[in-house]
Amino acid sequence: MRFSRTNRSKPRMSNSDAAPTNAQGLVPDSDASARFAVPWRRLPMVSMIAAGALSTSVVIAQSETPDDITSDPAGWTESEEGIPVTDALTMQKCGTCHAPDDKGNLSRISWIRSTPEGWAQTIKRMVKLNGLDISPVEARSVVKYLSTYHGLAPEEAKPVMYLAEKRIQDETIIPNDTLRQTCASCHAFAQPMSSRRSKREWGLLQNMHRALYSTAEFIYNTPVGSGYDEDGGPAPQEGEKPEKQAIAALKWLSANAPLHTPEWAAWRPRIRAPKLGGKWLVSAEMRGHGKFVGEMTVAPKEPGSDEYVTTTVLRSLKDGSVHTRKGSALIYTGFSWRGSSNGTAQAGAPDSLDSNLRETMWFAPDQSMAMGRWYWGEYHEFGFDVTLRREAGAPVIGGISADAIKAGTKGAQVHIYGANLPADLTAADIDFGGGTKVAKLVSVTPNEAVVTLDVASDAVPGQRDLSLASAVLPKALPVYASVDYVKVTPDTALAHLGGLKFAKGFEQFAAYAWSNGPDGKPNTPDDFAIRPIEATWKLAEFPTVPYDDDIHFVGTIDQGSGLFTPNVEGPDPQRRFGRNNYGEVWVVATAKDLVGKDGKPLSGRSYLVITVPTYKRWDQPEVSE
């Protein structure tokens, strides 16, 4: 099992960093039978209570969903229209406990929609808590069916893809402090937003949390914040009791993540088996390693199959190295790619580009492009940000050689990488936007065009789109007047000690030159990244505990590459009080060739927390062995 570091806060890490989510995608691996085919055994009392609370065999006096949602949802009768279950295997495996009705609905299941990871997590919980007997092959089939016909529409899935992609980022979709407390204090808010449910099902999900987690009851019963944040709920009128957070959260989720949505209504009749075979132009970027272009060849395992085999060739635009990968993938929901691939060369260093990796991508409904992340590492800390564009005969563009061009530059040579570039291409067919002029088309092949580019001295700073014949590459070229400051990414980060009994969790940093943008003011919305820069890296003390000297114990950073390697885990006799090697530091990047107005080298810094290993791996606490 893997640990997902999805949520970050500044400058300290939020609780959601410590809460793991479903981690390995949906294709069962070699030990899957041990995880899925678990016989019924005697469970702890709390689990027995939870199983009883969740089982549809429990008979409760029910009534229509009341206007007063403060009552127990277990007593409500489902009043919303369900989504019938039509798959025979799903009926067989789930229908024993989830009672069918005369419309083909299965209790609970027909009032939930979720992602492949969400349904896989549910099946694992049913195995662990309720004794479901299901093989890995059967589980895979059930997940495929449920995530397709009881899944999310593409427009619903795209905003929360970062959860399945194992990205580390600040969540911007948390609407208010109430939802931050009730949901995002223990896991990413993308977790609940990766599903859609009826009002009763949202209420029953809260009941499940109450049964399984001792802190949930306290959080749910806490009144909406004493300050009543402006989006968290209305302040009570004089003499009224403040609303409990559970009720405020239930109202928000029922209104903003309902079972039936316009997006699902539009997508449901369009669901079909995707046809992704063929060649795809790949553009990718990896922090600390730069940009890549290449090609992925996709072929179905057998005619009509939604399982594919792949061959991918990536070329680094930084050093020209070529990396070939072989892999396989499965499509869920008609647009959700879950795959893996292996480099044909031997992987050496932890950040080796030839490492075995997982692939998670979102395909556009028209199957013309895809985007996602290919990742690896004990904590999923390494990865490519990837975009695919189908090669279907028309010109497509994957990337360009230039990171950025300064205003006033004349005769800059730029390589344009793509596919199906027309042989009769002319300079007039290529446009880099306002303030630029393609002075000459040097050469052209089906996969690459070389041009010389002039940029006016008064060109407005900003990202330029590149258009070539009928193809467009958005934000292809930054044009800048000056480098105004340096920023280190990620700006907050987490690494894990290891190397003795547990694997290390690394962190790769990169430094970028930034422009103040057209308004000339720093840290405003029009600021933009210009290009990655060469920098010298070091650690600096982040003052928290007097005399803790974290920089001497937490680990080391490569002065040239910005790769942080944590120290070993366990008590350190060389440290004051024999403490572990955890701590907090600044990661400082000093530009090698950029100076500020004061004549000093530009620099930036990032906040890094180094913590203990994840000693236990699980999908959720209640399903861990």
Give the largest Cα separation in the chain, rounded: 80
39 compared with 589, residue with greater pLDDT: 589
Which percentage of the chain shows pLDDT scores above 90?
Answer: 77
- 485-611 in CATH: which number? 2.60.40.10
Residue 236 — pLDDT band, cuts 50, 70, 90?
Answer: low
pLDDT at 619: 60
Alpha-helical (H) ranges within 115-270 are 116-130, 136-149, 154-157, 161-164, 177-182, 199-212, 214-221, 245-256, 262-267
* pLDDT, position 239: 62
Residues near 569 by beta carbon (within 8 Å), at least 6 away in sequence: 497, 498, 499, 500, 501, 502, 580, 581, 612, 613
C-alpha closest to that of 329 among 311, 315, 343: 311
Instruction: Check residue 577 and give its pLDDT.
Output: 87
Superfamily for domain range 396-480:
Immunoglobulins (2.60.40.10)
Provide CATH 2.40.128.120 ranges for the chain.
Answer: 278-390
Confidence at 168, pLDDT banded by 50, 70, 90: confident
CA 49-54-59 angle, to 5 degrees, is 90
pLDDT in tens, 492-521: 999 999 999 999 999 999 999 999 999 999
- pLDDT above 70 as % of the chain: 85
Cα–Cα distances in angstroms (integers) from residue 308 to residues 145, 152, 329, in the given order: 18, 22, 5
In 301-392, DSSP assigns E strands to 307-316, 322-332, 336-343, 357-363, 369-376, 382-390
Report d(CA 534, CA 38) in Å as an integer: 52
What is the DSSP secondary-structure string of 537-576?
EEEEE--SSTT--GGGTSEEE-TTT-EEEE---S--TTSG
If pLDDT is split at 50, 70 and 90, which confidence band does 547 have?
A: confident
The pLDDT assigned to 162 comes to: 96
- Looking at every residue in the chain, the average pLDDT score rounds to 87
Model pLDDT for residues 290-310, shown as the tens digit of each residue: 999 999 999 999 887 889 999
Instruction: Tell me the residue length of the chain.
Output: 625
Using H for helix, E for strand and C for coil, what is the string for 7-73? ECCCCCCCHHHHCCCCCCCCCCCCCHHHHHCCCCCCCCHHHHHHHHHHCCCCCCCCEECCCCCCCCH
Is residue 405 pLDDT above 60, yes or no?
yes
Q: Computed from CA positions of residues 197, 200, 206, 210, in that sequence, does the dihedral angle turn out positive or negative?
A: negative
**pLDDT at position 42, please?**
29
**Residue 545's pLDDT band (boundaries 50, 70, 90)?**
confident
Name the amino acid, one letter, at 205. Answer: L
235 falls in which pLDDT band (50, 70, 90)? Answer: low
Report how far apart, in Å, the C-alpha atoms of 625 and of each of 1, 34, 116, 378, 556 are.
11, 11, 22, 20, 35
Model pLDDT for residues 421-450, shown as the tens digit of each residue: 999 999 999 999 999 999 999 999 999 999
- Residue 160: predicted pLDDT: 97
pLDDT at 90 over 50: yes
Q: What is the pLDDT of residue 67?
A: 54
More confident call, 451 vs 33: 451
Cβ pair 117, 163 in contact under 8 A: yes
Return d(Cα 394, Cα 416) in angstroms, integer: 15
Q: How confident is the model at residue 17 (pLDDT cuts 50, 70, 90)?
A: very low
Residue 271 has pLDDT above 50, yes or no: yes
| Region(s) of the chain under CATH 2.60.40.10 | 396-480, 485-611
Q: Is 230 exposed, middle or buried (0-12, 13-18, 19+ CB in 10 A)?
A: exposed
Tell me yes or no: is domain 278-390 CATH 2.40.128.120: yes
List pLDDT tens digits, range 385-400. 999 999 999 999 999 9
Rounded mean pLDDT, 95-105? 95
**3-class DSSP state of 330:** strand
- Cα torsion through 569, 572, 575, 578, rounded to 10: 110
Residue 618 has pLDDT above 80, yes or no: no
